[in-house]
Amino acid sequence: MTTGPITSRLFYLAWPLVVGNLLQTLYNLADMFWVGRVSSEAVAAVSLMFPLSWLFVSTAMGLSAATIAMVSQHVGAGNDRRADAVVGQTMLLAVAVASALAIAGYLGRHELMYLIGARGDVRVEALRYIEVIFLSLPLTFLFIAFRAALQGAGDTKTAMWLVAISAVANAVVDPFVILGVGPLPAMGVRGAAWATFGARGLAAAVGVYILLRGDWGIKLHPGDLRPDRELLAKLVDVGYPSTLDGWARSFAAVAMAGLVARFGEAATAAYGIGIRYMSVTWTVSGAVGQATATGVGQNLGAESPDRAASVAYRATAATMALLFAAGGLVWLVPATAMRIFVDDPAVVDEGVRFLRIVTIAWGFFGGLMVLQGAFRGAGSTRIAMALSLCSRWLFRIPLAVGLAFGWAITIPLLGVEIAALDWGAVGLWWAYAVGAIASFALGLVWFLRGTWTEGVIDRADEVPTDSTASGGTAGDTRSGTDPARTTETDVPDE
């Protein structure tokens, strides 16, 4: 991403991420499709658990953002062996954090069900699902770390193929374990969770093997799994704002799910299906944002801030154009889109209202996510975090409460009362759209200020290897995906 035409290189880097993320949504779409054949309570349970499970998985956002920023900038600066060291510490941190979260989540699962508003049969189904999902957290974190490492090095295709294999495996297994086929019992929502567990386990195992092989542009050295306090501290420092960012998104999603649940099962089920469609747009824009992060990081590592900015501008414009077109298509056929998953007339009617409102803002959702990717690639994760906080907690949640439930303020002395409209569930849908437009405008203004161009790597870390003595480039002796690697004995003392 540091030389040549920007648009074609960005497309080459981004399309495997887009395809991989779209395939990743098969986990959710396949689960929802087959669970919809069980009961509306099962659909509502999975809908409520989507933001809750994402609350835990989003902790890995910090790990991913830090890994992409540091690996890409080290690669851009020519020190591939230092990038390898980042990978080792990333894997170590991923397992430790995910294990702690899995234990805490499992032990507190009943309290979590109460907080999110799951009641009656929905609560029972939700527990069956989330108990297994907690067990899969370490596997999920390992795959996220693997994907971030390869992405920082500029390889996005390998992870795409691995996502494809695991997503297809999940989709194939789902009907057997959810509905029961032959000797297999019908496990309902718990079967959906076990299918996801198996698919993620497959992806994590193959991902670790690929990193150990080291033939894909980055390598996991067993010696790098020893804790390195300085490097771990750097990963945490760069990554924690993105973790807080993920939590802000997740708590907002949980809060919105809780607000929706107060309008009944039809609104909850419609919201769950509508969010699945929105997740496709997030998948596309998130993937382009990840590619943008790599492009920005490598160019800042190569000390080319103007080229880094060009990467961000072109990626943002293309993503917004694509998502506005996709939103227009869904806006035309919202009922058809809803009936793919459910036939309940009440759910379909509410889903039509949701899609008709939210699709008009899909482009703004995507534009903000790409800009946040640019900030993360630069290591300016605090700015990306601030934008998420503003998007959800300054704009969306207050609007949702005011428009859905209504409020009134009386001006002292004048006795004039100002009241917000009590629109019910429709007010929640409008909060999504208006919040997206406002937060994109804020993100664009912040990006134009240009305070993100310094990068995060310490140039003192760019220690030349023996290759520089013979006229080579600083850093590792490998180039691209060449399997020829330096050994651990080639690495100078830090």
Q: Is residue 372 part of a domain?
A: yes
Better pLDDT: 180 or 470? 180
Least Cα distance to 354 among 346, 324, 54, 48 occurs for 346
Structure letter (DSSP) for residue 409: E
Between 109 and 26, residue with greater pLDDT:
109
* pLDDT for 490 beyond 60: no
* Distance of alpha carbon 32 from alpha carbon 332, whole angstroms: 23
What are the distances in angstroms from CA 351 to CA 138, 254, 294, 337, 346?
A: 34, 19, 36, 9, 9
The answer to whether 163 and 126 are in contact (CB under 8 A) is: no
Does the pLDDT value for residue 361 go beyond 80? yes
Q: Best-predicted range by mean pLDDT among 26-40, 121-135, 431-445? A: 431-445
List C-alpha distances in Å: 283 to 20, 145, 335.
9, 18, 22
Is position 468 within any domain? no
> Per this entry, what is the length of the chain?
494
pLDDT at 488 over 70: no
State the Cα–Cα distance between residues 345 and 335, nearest whole angstrom.
10
User: How confident is the model over 408-434, as a mean pLDDT?
Assistant: 72
The better pLDDT of the pair 343, 484 is held by 343
**494 pLDDT above the threshold of 50:** no
Distance CA(209)–CA(216), nearest Å, equals 11
pLDDT over threshold 50, residue 463: no
Cβ contact 295:13 at 8 Å: yes
State pLDDT tens for residues 183-240: 778 888 888 888 889 988 998 899 888 888 877 677 888 887 888 888 888 888 888 8
- Strands 416-419 and 408-411, by their bridges, are antiparallel
Residue pair 158/165 in contact (Cβ under 8 Å)? The answer is: no
Per-residue pLDDT band for 25 (boundaries 50, 70, 90) equals: low
Quick one: 409 exposed, middle or buried, by C-beta within 10 A (0-12, 13-18, 19+)? exposed
Res. 470: pLDDT tops 50: no
Domain residues for 85?
Answer: 7-455
Asked if residue 216 belongs to a domain, the reply is yes
Locate 330 and state its tokens.
């869904």
- Write phi, then psi, for 409 (nearest 5 degrees): -125, 130
Distance CA 26, CA 273 (A): 13
Q: Is residue 469 part of a domain?
A: no
What is the helix, strand, coil percentage profile of the chain, to 5? 80, 0, 20
Task: Flag whether 186 is in a domain.
Answer: yes
pLDDT at residue 342 above 50? yes
Residue 462, pLDDT > 60, answer no
Confidence of residue 26 (pLDDT cuts 50, 70, 90): low
**Would you say residue 93 lies in a domain?**
yes
Q: Can you give the pLDDT at residue 414? A: 57
Fill in the amino acid letter for 114. Y
Helices (H), 302-396: 305-332, 334-339, 345-358, 362-377, 381-389
Pick from 252, 244, 245: nearest CA to 397 = 252
Distance, CA of 140 to CA of 37 (rounded, Å): 27
* Residue of 397, 378, 53, 35 lying closest to 200 (CA atoms): 53
For residue 399, pLDDT beyond 70: yes
Confidence of residue 420 (pLDDT cuts 50, 70, 90): low
Count Cβ neighbours within 10 Å for each residue of 412-451 and write b for 16 or more, e otherwise. Answer: eeeeeeeebeebbbbbbbbbbbbbbbbbbebbeebbeeee
Q: How many structural domains compose the chain? A: 1
Q: What is the pLDDT of residue 456?
A: 60
Inside any domain, residue 470: no
Residue 110 lies in a domain: yes
What is the rounded average pLDDT for all residues in the chain? Answer: 80
Please give the Cα distance from 155 to 148 (Å, whole number). 10
